[in-house]
Amino acid sequence: MIPRDVCERVLRAAVATGADYAEIFAENSLNHSIEMVGTKVNTINDNVIAGAAVRVYKGLRSIMATTVDTSEAGLMRCAKNAAAALGTGDPVLDFTLTERLYGDIHPVLLVPSSVSSAKKAAILRESCQAALSYDPSVRQAVGTLLDVDHNILIANTEGIYAQDRQIRTRISVSAVAEKDGQTQTGSCSPGRRMGMEMFDGLIDPAAVGVEAARQAVVMAGAGYCPAGVMPVAIENGFGGVIFHEACGHSLEATSVAYNASQFAGKLGQKIANDKVTAIDDGTIPGAWGSINFDDEGTPSRKRVLIEKGVLKSYMIDKFNGRRMGMESTASSRRQSYAFTPTSRMTNTYIAAGEDDNREIIASIPYGLYARKMGGGSVNPVTGEFNFAVDEGYIVRNGQICEPVRGASLVGKGSEIIQKIDMVGTDMDMGQGMCGSSSGSIPTNVGQPLIRVSSITVGGR
Amino acid sequence: MDFNEFKKAVADAARQMGIPDYELYYASGESTDVEAFGHEISGFTSSVEGGVSLRCALNGRMGYASTQVLSAQEAVSLVRRAAENAAVLESEEPALFVDGSQTYEDHPAPAYPLPDAAALTEKVLELQDKLLGADPLVLPNSQSYASSGTQTVAIFNSRGLDVSVSAGTAEFVVAPIVGDGQEMSNDYNFKAGDPAKIDFDELVSKAVTDAKNKLGGSVPQTGDMPVVFAPEAMRSLLATFSSAFSSEMAQRGLSALRDKEGQMVAGANVTIVDDPFFEGIAMPRPFDAEGSPTHKKNVIEDGKLVTLLYNLQTAAKAGRTTTGNAAKAGYASKVDVRPFVMYLKPGQISEDELLAQAGNGVYINSLGGLHAGANPVSGDFSLQSGGFLIEDGKKTVPVKSFTVAGNFFTMLSHITAIASNLEPPRGGGSTGFTSPSVLVEGLTVAGK
């Protein structure tokens, strides 16, 4: 994308006033999406994102300048702006860039841009059609097929010169069902770090539509969830959003480095129930949240965050690592060159345990079974989180009973992870887009079926 | 090349490819952001961003393509991609453009000298000193931020439209973290506008007071009770459910307000207004994302739904005229429909009088999880909340970790009182939501 000698000259300009680290992040991405309303292609969005950011550090100061002009002149302007913002001084760094060949653990078989929009529309139509014909109460289906071809280059004064091509594909269907004047939605949105080969046997477009419609139909016939404090069983897959919100964000250096996290200063301490082992793994081949290396050029890895309740690791980027006196854990991520990167999650999940799924449900005299979770959010300072239950059922005497809608779960992360007292065996993941200060990035959440012994359920 | 040169390159490419009708939408911005930690600058960002989106009509269908690269080669690629995309579209929606003969209202943006990098740095350090010294409970990891920047939106089309609007904004943010040794809590406050006219002491003290008020909060009892939504909470609800006012959502069957124009949809005390020229907004917008003139209008008037919001396409479909509410989430987004500054018209009484009317209940000034715990189609919500108990008509102890649940559209008919405390929407830009405090009966609070 940008030749090595150009990067070297730009980095030398960036460190001219005494920076102790400098970095170029350049990007050329093609985002393509097709939206279908009913069974007709309604919109095609086709956007080229291209630009670069030059970042310098000195001690605990970080300075970044961005541009849409990735010519040498444009990059030089950024480098000089960043160097000038740092103040005056003499260069203290010497370096040589060496190309890193990290390899690609996510080889793509069918590059999305090589597939015609008509072919993509046909896949989407199969999904939407399946949703619309699932049940007479399904009134509408809206589908999106998104593919991203994200090409990045990272060069820094530690000598790294690395390039990666990150291709991701995702299909998303939202169905609307109406019963007795009550309108409810259901959705299903699987995605992978793959090309269009995702649809060759791994993801069945019709099944995606059916799942969205099934949820909408069930919820359109559901009454309101009652409010109160009760035990809750949370299903696998996207249910893992509970760990992501209640705990994951508070383990990011973004908040830990500033002592603004409920878990700051607790490495080696028991913070969760014995049953909880949690992992962040950016190396799973083809997974939605995977990366070959992070947005600072550190090769991706798998790390245990919590082992049998004991805090083992945070998620750390280079800059925040300085404040913590700790190494990067390959957790630096950014939506695009326009965002300052920070520590983020990749594929984060509660590892499989030993409890039997039937026993987990049977153990609940009265509570909620959350079959599908929606999104949520957290305040990492206090650990107070919330998330929505998109498909819930009342559990009575150990039996899953009628569906309920409009439930949300709230609590405090540090308390909830102590209350995860049963963990099933069938770990699975779901896909999401995670929003934070460095933008919106693809992440997987995951877990087996778990039980939270008591949590506040918002309903009415 | 710059946008003016790019316009010509696209016009040439379109002519060569035989595409008569097209439109370029351009958005760009430059900004400087400074961040303080401790008594020092910890982060500094200077960014230049921009992009252009092309829409072209082929056989009555509108193809889109966008880019951040402004070059002669990219101009050709952009036209080709938009034309290819138009050929795949199947929706039976008319492709419409306005011509260059529009008349626009003139509402200049507030003008003041924007602080440069040095002035911003000085200001944010001063703000940070105020913040760290505001109260013994303020912890050293509290932060302050300042930014200033300019933004431009321009639209150019083959029918003679060539308009642009620019504005500059400075913005200041404080994010205190307070702790009493037992627990921590946090809050933030921000103000946009002329730094010479901002009361920075007030900016800091409100954020610190709000953060301190959350310490020691308890969980309220579960039950149905009167709820007072503070302006920041009611504003969030209005923003979350505003998509119901979109004619596009209504035409897709995704709005609870579809087919209800002319009908009562709220209590007679409720008037909801959309105003692109709200006093003090950073960038008043005389034209919408299709170049149509914009104007102030009541969406709900005395409880009656006067009109949904329309753009050219949805208006044509409904056999009426646009309300000038074409909008784009970003330069590359499809044109949809959104309000500019949407607000609930204030009433006559003070917030204290409103609390007195409430008697016993909860006062909610923070809502969380709006992107997940609220269903904009049905109106149902169940949201993480924080605030105070209302006892004998007065705010008393802080409460947190509870939810409030109800249905927004039902709630509009059960607002028993509306206070007079309407403030301008916070932040820069052309859009926002704001509201006075309201008292609502019959919502469910889930606590302990």
pLDDT score for B226: 96
Q: Does pLDDT of B430 surpass 90?
A: no
Q: What is the pLDDT of residues B107-131, one digit of tens each?
A: 988 889 999 999 999 999 999 999 9
Query: Is some CB atom of chain A closer than 8 A to the CB atom of B73?
Result: no
Closest alpha carbon to A380 in A190, A186, A245: A245
**Identity of the residue in A185, A379, A385 whose CB atom sits nearest the CB atom of B375:** A185
Rounded to whole angstroms, how far apart are CA atoms A182 and A223? 10
Q: What DSSP assignment string belongs to A181-239?
A: TEEEEEEE--EESS-GGGGTTTS-HHHHHHHHHHHHHHHHT-EEPPPEEEEEEE-SBGG
- The reply to whether B406 touches chain A by the CB within 8 Å rule is yes
Asked if the Cβ–Cβ distance from B40 to A379 is below 8 Å, we say no
Q: What is the DSSP letter of A21?
A: E
Share of chain A above pLDDT 90, in %: 91
Instruction: Please give the residue of chain A at the shortest CA–CA distance from B380.
Output: A406
- DSSP line for B124-164: HHHHHHHHHTS-TTB-TT-EEEEEEEEEEEEEEETTS-EEE
Chain A CB contacts of B40 below 8 Å? 60-61
3-state SS, residue A130 = helix
Rounded Cα–Cα distance for residues B280 and B294 (Å):
17
Structure tokens, A96: 């040589």
- To the nearest 10°, report the CA torsion of A112, A115, A120, A123: -100
Average pLDDT over residues B40-48: 92
Contact B66, A45 (CB under 8 A): yes
**C-beta of residue B274 within 8 angstroms of C-beta of residue B297:** yes
Select the residue of B46, B183, B403 nearest A456 (Cβ to Cβ): B403
Residues of A with Cβ-Cβ distance to B66 under 8 angstroms:
45-48
Q: Which residue of A has its CA nearest to B52?
A: A47
* pLDDT tier for residue A406 given thresholds of 50, 70 and 90: confident
- Asked if pLDDT for residue B92 goes beyond 80, the answer is no
The CA distance from A160 to the nearest CA of chain B, in Å, is 23
Position A376 confidence tier, pLDDT thresholds 50, 70, 90: confident
- Measured between CB atoms, which of B68, B256, B443 is closest to A49? B68
Q: Is B159 exposed, middle or buried (0-12, 13-18, 19+ CB in 10 A)?
A: middle
Whether B26 contacts B154, CB under 8 Å? yes
Supply B317's token pair.
């479909």
> How many Å apart are CA A254 and CA A138, to the nearest integer?
43
Asked if A142's CB is within 8 angstroms of B88's CB, the reply is no
What was the pLDDT predicted at B427? 66
pLDDT of B206 strictly over 90: yes
The angle formed by the CA atoms of residues A204, A209 and A215, to the nearest 5 degrees, is: 125
| Cβ <8 Å between B47 and A48 | no
pLDDT of residue B190 exceeding 80, the answer is: yes
Cβ A184 vs Cβ A222: under 8 Å: yes
> Mutate which of A381, A404, A409, A454 to disrupt the B interface (most B C-beta within 10 Å)?
A381
Residue in A46, A388, A405 nearest the CB of B65: A46
> Contact, B370 vs B384, CB < 8 A?
no
Query: What residues of A are in contact with residue B41 (Cβ under 8 Å)?
Result: 61
Are the C-beta atoms of residues B300 and B265 closer than 8 Å to each other? Answer: yes
Q: What is the C-alpha separation between A450 and A273, in angstroms, rounded? A: 12
The one-letter amino acid code at A5 reads: D
Q: Assess whether pLDDT exceeds 90 at residue B94.
A: no
The pLDDT > 70 percentage for chain A reads 100
Rounded CA separation B9/A434 (Å): 38
B434 neighbors B443 (Cβ within 8 angstroms)? no
pLDDT of residue B373: 86
Residue B186's nearest CA partner among B195, B176, B196 is B176
Closest-CA distance of chain B to residue A187, Å: 13
How many CB pairs below 8 A link A and B? 236
Q: Is B59 in CB contact (< 8 Å) with chain A?
A: no
Q: How far apart are CA B421 and CA B419, in angstroms?
A: 6
CA distances from A4 to A21, A66, A163 (A): 17, 19, 11
Largest Cα–Cα distance in chain A?
74
CA distance A277 to chain B (A): 26
pLDDT of B425 above 80: yes
List, by residue range, all CATH 3.30.160 domains of chain B: 117-148+168-213
- The confidence band for A181, taking pLDDT boundaries of 50, 70 and 90, is confident
Nearest to A141 by CA among A185, A204, A189: A185
Q: What is the CA radius of gyration of chain A?
A: 23
Helix (H, G, I), strand (E, B) or coil at A313: coil
Distance CA A99, CA B262 (A): 67
Q: How far apart are CA A374 and CA A36, in angstroms?
A: 22
Give chain B's radius of gyration (CA, Å): 24
Residue ranges of domains in chain A, CATH in brackets: 112-150+165-221 (3.30.2290.10), 228-458 (no CATH)
Portion 266-285 of B in contact with A at CB < 8 A? none
DSSP A44: E
- What confidence tens digit (pLDDT) does each residue in A109-126 have? 999 999 999 999 999 999
* Shortest CA gap B86–chain A (Å): 8
Alpha-helix residue ranges (DSSP H) falling in A283-433: 318-324, 357-362, 413-416
Note whether B45 contacts A66, CB cutoff 8 Å. Answer: yes
Residue with tokens 């924007």: B114
How far is the first Cα of chain B from the last one, in angstroms, to the nearest whole number? 62
Side-chain-side CA neighbours of B304 within 13 Å: the count stands at 6
Distance CA B11, CA B20 (A): 9
What is the CB-side half-sphere exposure of residue A280 using CA atoms within 13 A? 26
pLDDT of residue B429 exceeding 80: no
> Across chain A, what does the average pLDDT equal?
95
pLDDT in tens, A288-343: 999 999 999 999 999 999 999 999 999 999 999 999 999 999 999 999 999 999 99
Strand partners of residue B256: none
Write the DSSP string, A144-195.
EEEEEEEEEEEEETTSEEEEEEEEEEEEEEEEEEEETTEEEEEEE--EESS-
Say yes or no: ipTM exceeds 0.85: yes
Q: Which of B67, B378, B382 sits opposite A48 (nearest CB)?
A: B67
Please report the residues numbered 108 through 127 in chain B whose beta carbons come closer than 8 angstroms to any beta carbon of chain A: 117
Placement of tokens 């310490």 in the chain: B215
Handedness of CA A200, A203, A209, A211 (dihedral sign): positive
CB spacing of A65 vs B177 below 8 angstroms = no
CA distance A229 to chain B (A): 6
pLDDT at A49: 94
Asked if A404 contacts B401 with a C-beta cutoff of 8 angstroms, the reply is no
Q: For A63, which residue in chain B has the nearest alpha carbon? A: B44
Burial pattern B54-77, b for ≥16 Cβ within 10 A else e, equals bbbbbeebbbbbbbbbbeeebbbe
Do the Cβ atoms of A258 and B143 come within 8 Å? Answer: yes
Token pair listed for B167 = 């504005």
Does the CA dihedral B226-B232-B233-B235 come out positive or negative? positive
Locate the chain A residue with the closest alpha carbon to B48.
A67
pLDDT, residue B371, reads 84
**Integer angstrom CA distances of residue B190 from A330, B132, B200, B365:** 33, 16, 10, 16
Element housing B297 (H / E) = strand B297-301
Q: What is the dihedral of CA B211, B217, B219, B221, to 10 degrees?
A: -110
Buried/exposed A222-246: b ≥16 CB within 10 Å, e otherwise: bebbbbbbbbbbbbbbbbbbbbbbb
Cα–Cα distance measured from residue A282 to residue B97, given in angstroms and rounded to the nearest whole number = 47
A87 has a pLDDT exceeding 90: no
First to last CA, chain A: 56
- Helix, strand or coil, per DSSP, at residue B443: strand
Contact A45 B253 (CB under 8 A): no
Q: pLDDT value at position A29?
A: 96
* pLDDT at res. A109: 95
Which is more confident, A382 or A302? Answer: A302
Contacts of B352 (CB under 8 A, 6+ apart): none
The tokens for A171 are 């299909």
Q: Other CB atoms closer than 10 Å to residue A88's CB: what's the count?
A: 9
Beta strands in A4-137 (DSSP E): 21-37, 40-58, 61-67, 98-99
pLDDT of residue B404 exceeding 90, the answer is: yes
Which of A63, A183, A434, A445 to mutate to test binding with chain B, by most B CBs within 10 Å of its CB?
A183
pLDDT classification of A91: cutoffs 50, 70, 90: very high
Strand partners, A281: A302
DSSP E strand stretches across A238-307:
278-281, 302-307
> Residue A357: how many CB atoms within 10 A of its CB?
16
Copy the structure tokens of residue A441: 């990035």
- Class for the domain spanning B117-148+168-213: alpha beta
